[in-house]
Structure 1
Amino acid sequence: MAELRAITAYAVACAEPALAIFERERPDDRRPRAALDAARSFADGARRTKVIRDHAWAAQRAYQEARDAGLAAASDAARAAVAAASAAYLHPLAKATQVLHILGAAAHAARAVELDAGDDPNVGADHIERARDLASPVVVSVLTRYPDAPSGRGRAGELLRILDASLRQSTTDR
C-alpha cells in the first residue's frame, strides 16, 4: 500500500500543473480537480475507496467532452487527472499497459502543456524532465518491475516512452 501511495502522489504531482489549462477552458467543470483531490487524499493516507474510481470516471467524461469540443490541451489535462486517480489501482501484473498507471499522468500533462504552448515539443520535453526529477526511488523501483511502456498512443505515448526510458536509464547510471 505504501508503494501505491507513492505512485499516486507522484502521478498527482505530475498532473497538477496541467489542471490550470483545463480549468481555464472549462472553469465550471470541477471533475478533473475532484479526481486529483481524491487521489491526493489516498496518497496522503486515506483509504482506497470507490470514491477515487468514481472521480476518475467523471474526469474521463470531462476529457471526452473537452475533446469533443475541440479543446485538445484541456482534454489532455483531464486525461492527466484520470491517470493520476487511476494510479491508485496499479495492478501487480507484469504488463506494459500497467506503466500507464505509473507514468500516464506525466505524459498527458506534458502533452497538455505542449498543446497549450502551440504544440511546442520543447515545452512537453521540459515537463517530462521535471517529471523525471520528481520520481522518487520508490517510483523508479516499482516501474522497473514492469515491461517497457507500450507502443502507440500518439504523442502522449511517445512522451510516456521517453519518460519511461529516462527513468529506467537512471537505474543503470548509479
Structure 2
Amino acid sequence: MGNGPREVELGDDERRVLTRWAADCAERALPLFEAGAPDDGRPREAVEAARAYALGERRTKRLRTAAWASLAAAREAGDPAAAAAARAAVAAVGAPYIHALATPHQVKHIHGPALYLALAREAAAGGDPTVGEEEVRWAIGHAPPGLREVARRFPAGDLGGRTRQSVLRRLLDEGLRG
C-alpha cells in the first residue's frame, strides 16, 4: 500500500449530480459577466458544455476546450465580478473531471462553482459580504443530497484563513457537510 491519498468511490452518476449543481451555480453568475461583455459567449458555452455532460454526454475535449476559453475570458474581464462569474463557469465545466482522490484539493473543485458565484455577486454589490453569504446559502440549499454525500467523502483540509475566499469556503463546506 502506497503513501499517497486513498481513493473514494466516485462514479459518473455522482459527477453528473455535481456538474448539474455546478452549472446551476455558474449560470446564476453569468449575467454579471455578460453585462460587461455581451458579445463574449465563452463562459456561457462552458456552462452549456457542463450541462450537456450532466444530462448524459460523455467527457470529451469540448469540456476542456470550454474551460480554457472561459478561463481566458476571466483573465480578460474588466472587473472582479465579471472575472469571478467566468471562473464559476470554469469550475462548472471542470466538475466532470474531479478525481476520486481523498484530498482537500478535490474539495476545492466541489466548492469552486458556488464560491465564485458568491464572489461574483459580492463584487457586483460593491463588496457587501452579506450578498456573498446569501449566495452561499442559496448554493447549499440548492445542493442535492447526492452532492452532499460526495462532499462528505472528501477531507475538508485546512479551512482556516482570514481571506474573504476562505470565509466563504468555510461556510460552504460546513453547509454541504451539515
Give the alignment's TM-score, normalised by structure 1: 0.91
Deviation >6 Å, runs of 4+: none
Aligned to 1:117: 125
> C-alpha displacement at 1:100, in angstroms?
2.0
> SS at the partner of 1:92?
coil
Listed as ranges, the matches of 1:41-60 within 5 Å are 41-60=52-71
Amino acid at match of 2:45: A
Q: Is it true that 1:65 corresponds to 2:76 in the alignment? A: yes
2:34 and 2:95 map into 1 onto residues whose CA distance is 22
> C-alpha displacement at 1:161, in angstroms?
2.0
> C-alpha displacement at 1:149, in angstroms?
5.1
Is the CA contact (8 Å cut-off) linking 1:97 and 1:150 kept in structure 2? no
1:19 and 1:105 map into 2 onto residues whose CA distance is 11
Aligned residues: 166
Is the CA contact (8 Å cut-off) linking 1:106 and 1:131 kept in structure 2? yes
Residue-by-residue CA offset, 1:137-167 (whole Å, 9 max, x unaligned):
1101110111115556942343122100122
1:111 and 1:120 map into 2 onto residues whose CA distance is 10
Aligned to 2:169: 160
Amino acid at match of 1:97: H
1:126 and 1:142 map into 2 onto residues whose CA distance is 23
Listed as ranges, the matches of 1:79-90 within 5 Å are 79-90=87-98
Is the CA contact (8 Å cut-off) linking 1:149 and 1:161 kept in structure 2? no
Q: Over the residues paired in the alignment, what is the CA RMSD in angstroms?
A: 1.4
List runs of 5+ in structure 2 lacking aligned partners. Answer: 1-11
Amino acid at match of 2:127: D
Structure with the largest fraction of helix: 1
Amino acid at match of 1:74: A
Shift in CA distance, 150/50, structure 1 to aligned 2, threshold 3 Å: farther
Residue-by-residue CA offset, 1:49-70 (whole Å, 9 max, x unaligned):
110011001101111111xx3x
1:15 and 1:5 map into 2 onto residues whose CA distance is 15
- Aligned residues with identical type, % of pairs: 48
Amino acid at match of 2:136: I
Residue-by-residue CA offset, 1:58-106 (whole Å, 9 max, x unaligned):
101111111xx3x111000000000001111010011101112211000
Aligned to 1:16: 27
Larger radius of gyration: 2
Amino acid at match of 1:53: R
List runs of 5+ in structure 1 lacking aligned partners. Answer: none
Is the CA contact (8 Å cut-off) linking 1:77 and 1:108 kept in structure 2? yes
Q: Is it true that 1:78 corresponds to 2:89 in the alignment? A: no
